[in-house]
Structure 1
Amino acid sequence: MSYQAPLRDMRFVLHEMFDVGAHCELLDNGLDRELVDGVLEEAARYTGEVVAPLNRSSDEEGVTLVDGKVTTPTGFRDAYQQYVDNGWASMTGPTQYGGQGFPQMVAASFHEMLMAASLSFRVYSGLTEGAVLALYKHGSEELKNSYLGKMVSGSWTGTMCLTEPQAGTDLALLRSKAEPQADGSYAITGSKIFISGGEQDMSENIVHLVLARLPDAPAGVKGISLFLVPKYIAKSNGAPGEKNTLSCGAIEHKMGIKGAATCVMNFDGAKGWLIGSANQGLACMFTMMNDARFQVGLQGLGIAERSYQGALSYARERLQSRALTGAAAPDKAADPIIVHPDVRRMLLTQKTLVEGSRMLSAYTARQLDLEHGHPDPAERKVASKRVALLIPIVKSFFTDMGQEVASLGVQIYGGHGYIREWGMEQLMRDSRITQIYEGTNGIQALDFIRRKLLGDGGAELNALQDEFAALCDAQAGRSELTDLVEPLQERLHEWRDLTAEVLAASNRDPQEIGACSVDFLQYSSYLLLAGLWLQAAARAQDALDAGTGEVDFYTAKLHSARFYMRRVLPRVSSHREMLLGGADCLMALPEAHFAF
C-alpha cells in the first residue's frame, strides 16, 4: 500500500488557516511561504519514496537481538542515513548546536508524514528531539557541549528511560539507583523496560536519559533525579569513546511496530551525569514529555491518514453490488463500493476526523512555537498555559482517532482488510500502542481534569471557549454558514455549562475526577474540531466568493464541515450523558462481585 503526503491539505492548514508565513515572521526565523512549501515537497518525496516502502517489509522481518546487539530491518540504516544527511534530524534543533530552528508548525507536517510512512522507522528518531530539548534546557554547559551537537545532527540518538517492571504510570515506585562518584559522575544501576530504540544499529551512539534515585533521596516522586547515560562515553574531541556498562537484555515481541526495537535496558553501574538539580528529575523529564506526547498524537494522525488513503483507493476500485438507486457503472459487472451510503459514512468519518485533527495539530504546534519563541515574555506564558491544556487532548484524542480510523479502514476492505497482504491490519496493530505509551489515554484524561481544569478553576479552558465563541460570532452573519454556526453555538453554551458541572462534581467527590475524565476530554476534543471545521469552512467560502479557483477542493471542505457537524459532532451527546452518570455506578459494586 503506497503513501502520498496530503500536501494540498497541509498547505491549506498552514497557509490559509494559520498563516504560517506571518507566524515565521513573528518568530524571526527567516522562513517564508516559498521555503516552507519547498521543504514540504522534499519531505513528501523522502517519506513516500524512501521510508514508506519499508513499512510492510519491516513488519514482516522485525528486529533481531544477538549478543546484546540489535539488527534493524533491511533498509532502515540507509533510510536513516538519508534522514541525517539531508538535515531532517536537525530540523527543530537549536541553531547554536547545529540545528535549523524550524518551527513546530512546519516540522509537525513532516513528522506526520514520517508517522504515516512507517511508524516503526520513526520510533528510532522520535525521542531524540525531546531528549535534545531536555538537555538544552536543563543540562550543564559541559554536557551540552559534549553531546548536543551530535544529537541535534542525528548521528547520535536519544531515549527516555522511565519505566521499570514495577513502576509504570506510578513513578513513585521507581528503584533504579545513582551512586555519586569522586569525579562528579554517578554510577547508575537498575533495569528499565519498554525503551524505544534502546539499542539499534543506525546511529553511532545512543544517549539515554535515565530516571534514578540518589542515596539520600526522599521517597516518592520528589526523590527522582535525571541522568545522561550514554552507550559510548564522549571523548574530548566529541567522538564516541569507551563503551559504558549498560546493555540490552531483551527485546519485546509485540502486537505492532515490529520494526522498532523495544528494549529491556540493564544499567550495571553505568557512568552517568546529573541533568538539572538533584531530586528534580521529573520536572526535567516533563520538558521532554510534552514533546513526546505531542509526537505520539501525530503518530495517531499519521496512521489515520494512511488508512484513509488506502480505504479511499480501495473503495474506488472494489466492485460489489449495485447502487441503491440503480447501476452507477452499467459498463461494469458491479458498482465501486464508494457509491454505497454506509461506505461513504465510513470514508467521511475518516476524512473529517483526519483533516480536523490536522488542523488541531497545527493549532497546537503554533502554541508550542509561541511558548518558546514569542518575543514578548508575557505572550510566552500565555502560550505555555494553552500548550499545557492541549497536550493531553492531542495525545489522547488523536490516538483514539487513529485506532478508530484504522479500524474503519479494515472494515471498508472487508475480508481483504483482515489479511496481511493489503497492509490495513498492520496499521490497526501499529496504532494500538499509541493509546498506551507516553502515558495511557486514561492518564491523559485524568491530567486534563485534575491538573488543567481543577488547577486553575477552569480559567484556561474558559479562555479557549471564549476564543471559539468569538469565531462563531465572526461568522454568524454569513447565510452560507448558518447551518454550521448555529449548532456549534448551541454546543459551546452546553460545553460551558458542562465544564461548571464537572468542576463542581470533582470538587465535591474526588472519585468524580476519574469517573468523568475520559468522557469530558472526548467531549472537549470533538468541540475543538468542530470550531476548527467552522474556521476551515469560512476560509473555503472566502476562496469561493473570491473566485480564486480550485472549486472542487473548497467545495469539498464545505461538504466535509457539514458532515462533521451532522454526523460526528452529535457524539458529544452520549459523552455528556455518560459523564453525568456519576461515579457511584462505577464504584458501588464490591470487587468480589465482578465475578462469581
Structure 2
Amino acid sequence: MSNYSAPIRDMQFVMQELAGLAEVAALPGNEEVSPDLVDAILEEAGKFAGGVLAPLNRIGDQEGAKWDHGTVTTASGWREAYRQFSEAGWTAVAGDPEYGGQGLPKLVSTAVMEMWKSANMAFSLCPMLTTGAIEALMLRGSDEQKTMYLPKMVSGQWTGTMNLTEPQAGSDLAAVRTRAEPQGDGTYRIFGQKIFITYGEHDLTDNIIHLVLARLPDAPEGVKGISLFVVPKFMVNADGSLGARNDVHCVSIEHKLGIHASPTCVLAFGDKGGAIGTLVGEANRGLEYMFIMMNEARFAVGMEGLALSERAYQHALAYAKDRVQGTEAGVRGGPKVSIIHHADVRRMLMSMKSQTEAMRALAYVVGAATDLAHHHPDEAVRVTNQAFVDLMIPVVKGWCTENSIEIASTGVQVHGGMGFIEEAGAAQHLRDARITAIYEGTTAIQANDLIGRKIARENGATIGGVIAEMRKVEGQLADSQGENLVAIRRSLANGIDALEQAVAYILATYNQDIKAASVGSVPFLKLLGVVAGGWQMARAALIAQRKLQAGEEEGGFFQAKLVTVRFYADHVLAQAPGLAYSVVNGAAGALDLPEELF
C-alpha cells in the first residue's frame, strides 16, 4: 500500500499565483474566503485524505463491492469513512448555504476534490455524482423538490445518481427507451432499465436520489423527447421522513478492470408496478438539464485524471528513491545506487511530475474561471469566463484522463517487474485510470464537442482570445533573461504556432468535410491541452524566476518549479508541431481504406 500526501504547497502556488485566488475571494459572497481559511481547509482535507481515505484505497480494490439479491455492501471501512466524511462537512464544501452548504468557491472545492480522488478514487465517485445531482436540482428543480431533497443531499445524509445509459443506447441517448407514464396527480410511473449507474445502490446512506432520463407517452422521437425525473430509492413523506421503498432495484453490479470498490449498477425501474417519480423542470428538456450534471461530472472526471496522475507519481517516486539497483552511469566502480540516479528513471519521473503540474494549473484556472462566470458583477466578465470554461471543460476532461493512463503506465514502468505485481500497488492506479477516458463521454465525444460546438460553431472566437493571451505570455518570456526561460519561450512559441495552424484547418474544413476534421479531433484536443498546459507552466516559470531573483524563501520550491517547466517545454510542449501535423494531414490515412480491407 502506498501513502498519499496532498501536494499542498503546489496547490497553494497554483491557486494564488495562477488561478487568482485573491480575485475569486473578492467576488460577492466570498467575503470570508481569506488565505488563512483556504490554507486551513487544505490542511484539514489533506489530513483526512491521507489518514482516512488513502488507507482504504487498497482494501477497496481487493474486496470490492458485493451484490446479494439486490443489496450492495461496500468494502470494509467504507461506511465509517463516509460517516466521518459527511459529519466533517466535506459533502457540503461547495453547497448552497440556503440548504446547509458552506458556499465555498469552485476553486477551493476543486483543490479539495483533487485530494479525495488521489487518496481514493472509488470512494470519491459517490460524492461526485451527488454534487452533480445537487447542481441539476438547484438550477431546474421545483421549490418542493429542492426543499425535499437538497438539505439531506448537501449534508451527505442522502446521495444522488445520474441515470442516462441503457443497454441498447450506450452514448446514443436518442435511443433511450425508459418511459414515464403520468398518473394525473403530478407523479409519474417510470419503467425501464439503466446500466453503468455509479453508486446506484449501496449501504452508505439510507436513501439514494436518482435523476432519470425517460420518455413521456407523447414525446417526440430523438433527444428532443427526453424528460428528467427525480426517482428516490425510498419515498419521502411530507415531514421529511422515509416512506415506502420505491420500485427501483439493483439487479446486478459490474465486474470491472478497476475501481472495484465503486458499485457500478444495473438498475431496474418498474418491475413491480412502476417507480414513482416527479418531473424536473419542463417536459422534453431532460437532456438539456442532464447536461448540467454532465458538465459538472466531466470536469470532475478530468480531476480524476489529475488526481490519479499525482498518486501514481508519488508512488513511483517513493519506489525510485528506495529501490537500490545498479551503479550510477559514468561513475566507474561506484556503489550501488537507488534507481532515481539513473537517467531514464529521472526522465520518467520528470515526465510524470511536469504533466501533473501542468494539468493542475490548467484545471484550477478553469475552476477559478467558473467562479468568475457565476459571480462576477460585470456581465461582460461573466460571459467571457463562461466561454473559456465551455471551451476548456472537454480539454480538462479528455486531456487529463488520457494523460493519467500514460502517467500511471509510466509509474508501472518505473517499478520495473515489480510494477506488474499487484502487491506493489502501482497497477491499481493504471487500472483505475483506464475508465476515466470513457466516463461521462469518451475522449472522442469530448473532442467532437470541442471542434464542433466550441470552435467551428463560433468561428474560433473564444479560442482566438485564448491564443492572444498565450501570445502575451510568450512576449513576457521574450523580455526575460536566463537559459531556462529562453528555452521555454521557444517551445511555447512553436506550440502556439502549431495550435493556430490546427485551428485554421478546423475552421476551413469542418463545414465542408466533417469527417476529415473529426479524424483530427482527438489529436487536436491533446494539442490544445499540451499548449494550454504549457501556457500555464510558462506563467509559473516567470513567477518562479521572479521569486528566485527576489531571494524569497522556499528557493528550493521555485527552483524545482522552474526546472519542471523546462522539462515540460523540452519534452511535452515539443510534441505540439507533430500533433498539428496529424490534425491537418491525418484524414486520408484514416478514411481511405475500404471497410472490406480492414
Is the structural similarity TM-score above 0.5? yes
Shift of 1:591: 1.4
Alignment of 1:18-167 (within 5 A): 18-29=19-30, 30-167=32-169
Q: Is the 8 A contact 1:179 1:188 kept in 2?
A: yes
Of 308, 319, 322, the residue aligned with 2:324 is 319
In structure 1, distance between residues paired with 2:374 and 2:157: 25
Matched, 1:555 2:559: yes
Distance across 2 between alignment mates of 1:3 and 1:284:
37
Tell me whether 1:15 sits opposite 2:16 in the alignment.
Answer: yes
Amino acid across the alignment from 1:511: K
CA apart distance, 1:95:
1.1
Aligned to 1:276: 281
Matched residue, 1:429: 431
Whole-angstrom distance in 2 between the partners of 1:501 and 1:121: 42
Looking at structure 2, the residues matched to 584 and 15 of structure 1 have their Cα atoms a distance apart, in angstroms, of 46
Q: What does 1:196-595 correspond to in 2, within 5 Å?
A: 196-268=198-270, 269-326=274-331, 330=334, 332=335, 334-480=336-482, 481-594=485-598
Q: Residue 377 of structure 1 aligns to which amino acid in structure 2?
A: E
SS at match of 2:463: helix
What SS is found at the alignment partner of 1:89?
A: helix
- Residues 104, 368 of structure 1: 8 Å contact kept: yes
Residue 342 of structure 2 aligns with an amino acid whose one-letter code is H
Shift in Å at residue 158 of structure 1? 0.4
Aligned partner of 1:185: which letter?
T
Query: What is the identity, as a one-letter code, of the residue corresponding to 1:115?
Result: K
Please provide the CA RMSD for this pair: 1.2
The residue identity in structure 2 corresponding to 1:510 is: I
Deviations 1:3-31, CA, capped at 9 Å, x for gaps? 11011111111122233133112243121
Per-residue CA deviations over 1:462-516 (Å, capped at 9, x if unaligned) read 0111111112223321112222223312331332232112211222211123211
> Does the CA-based 8 Å contact 1:327-1:335 persist in structure 2?
no
- Confirm or deny: 8 A CA contact 1:72 1:201 kept in the other structure: yes
Tell me how far apart the structure 2 counterparts of residues 48 and 468 of structure 1 sit (CA, whole Å).
36
Mean Cα deviation higher: 397-406 or 489-498: 489-498
User: For the residues of structure 1 that align with 2:531 and 2:48, how far apart are their CA atoms?
Assistant: 35
Partners of 2:552 and 2:348 in 1: CA distance: 31
- CA deviation string 1:547-573 (max 9, x = no partner): 111111111111111111111112222
Quick one: distance in 1 between partners of 2:254 and 2:386?
A: 36
Task: Return the letter of the residue paired with 1:236.
Answer: A
Q: What SS is found at the alignment partner of 1:372?
A: helix
Q: Structure 1 residues 155, 324: closer, same or farther in 2, change over 3 A? A: same
CA displacement at 1:282 relative to structure 2 = 0.7
Please give the secondary structure, in 2, of the residue aligned with 1:414. Answer: helix
Q: Distance in 1 between matches of 2:79 and 2:278?
A: 29
SS of the equivalent of 1:540 reads: helix
Does the 8 A contact of 2:495 with 2:573 survive in 1? no
Q: Which moved more, 1:14-23 or 1:495-504?
A: 14-23
Following TM superposition, by how much is the alpha carbon of 1:354 offset from its aligned partner in structure 2, in angstroms? 0.3
Q: Is the 8 A contact 2:456 2:506 kept in 1?
A: no
Q: Is the 8 A contact 1:17 1:539 kept in 2?
A: no
Q: How many residues align?
A: 591
Aligned partners of 1:311 and 1:412 also within 8 Å? yes
What residue identity is the alignment partner of 1:589? L
SS where residue 115 of structure 1 aligns? helix
TM-score by length of 1: 0.97
Q: TM-score, normalised by structure 2?
A: 0.97
Task: State the distance in 1 between where 2:164 and 2:435 align.
Answer: 17
User: What is the rounded CA distance, in whole Å, between the counterparts of 1:376 and 1:86 in structure 2?
Assistant: 35
How far apart in 1 are the matches of 2:563 and 2:493? Answer: 19
Identify which range, 26-35 or 304-313, moves more after superposition. Answer: 26-35
1:241-288: CA deviations, max 9, x gaps?
221011000000000000010000000010001111100001101111
Structure 1 pair 378/22, CA: closer, same or farther in 2 (3 Å)?
Answer: closer
Specify the code of the residue in structure 1 equivalent to 2:281. Answer: G
Give the Å deviation of 1:321: 1.0
Q: In the alignment, residue 551 of structure 2 is paired with which amino acid?
A: G
Query: Which letter does structure 2 place at the counterpart of 1:439?
Result: G
Contact 1:446 1:513 in 2 (8 A): no
Decide whether the 8 Å contact of 1:300 with 1:398 is kept in 2.
yes
Q: Which amino acid aligns with 1:248?
A: C
8 Å contact from structure 2 (residues 370, 389) kept in 1 = yes
- Output one character per residue of 1:47-84: Cα deviation in whole Å (capped at 9) or x when no partner: 00000000101111111111211000010101101111
Instruction: State the SS of the aligned residue for 1:409.
Output: helix
Counterpart of 2:491 in 1: which secondary structure? Answer: helix
- Give the partner amino acid of 1:532: Q
The residue type paired with residue 84 of structure 2 is: Q
Amino acid at match of 1:9: D
CA contact (8 A) 2:54 2:119 kept: yes
CA contact (8 A) 2:488 2:570 kept: no
Amino acid of the residue matched to residue 573 of structure 1?
P
Counterparts in 2 of 1:69 and 1:210: CA distance versus 1, 3 Å:
same
Distance, in Å, in 2 between the alignment partners of 1:509 and 1:16 is 42
Q: Relative to structure 2, which stretch is displaced further, 472-481 or 230-239?
A: 472-481
Q: What secondary structure does 2:91 align onto?
A: coil
Letter in 1 for 2:11: M
Alpha-carbon deviation of 1:234? Answer: 1.3
Whole-Å separation in 1 of the counterparts to 2:476 and 2:585: 35
1:338 to partner: Cα distance: 0.8
CA apart distance, 1:240: 2.0
* CA–CA separation in structure 1 for the residues paired with 2:321 and 2:244: 57
> Alignment partner of 2:230: what SS?
strand
**How far did residue 327 of structure 1 move?**
6.0
Task: After superposing the two structures, state which structure 1 stretch, 63-72 or 372-381, moved more.
Answer: 372-381
Q: Secondary structure at the match of 2:167?
A: coil
**SS of residue paired to 1:502:** helix
Deviation at 1:104, TM superposition (A): 1.2
> How far apart are 1:454 and its partner, in Å?
0.8
CA distance in 2, matches of 1:16, 1:464: 18
Specify every segment of 5 or more residues in structure 1 that has no aligned partner in the other structure, as ranges.
none
Runs of 4 or more off by more than 6 Å in structure 1?
Answer: none
% identical aligned pairs? 45
Q: CA deviation at 1:370?
A: 1.6
Tell me what 2:3 maps to: 2
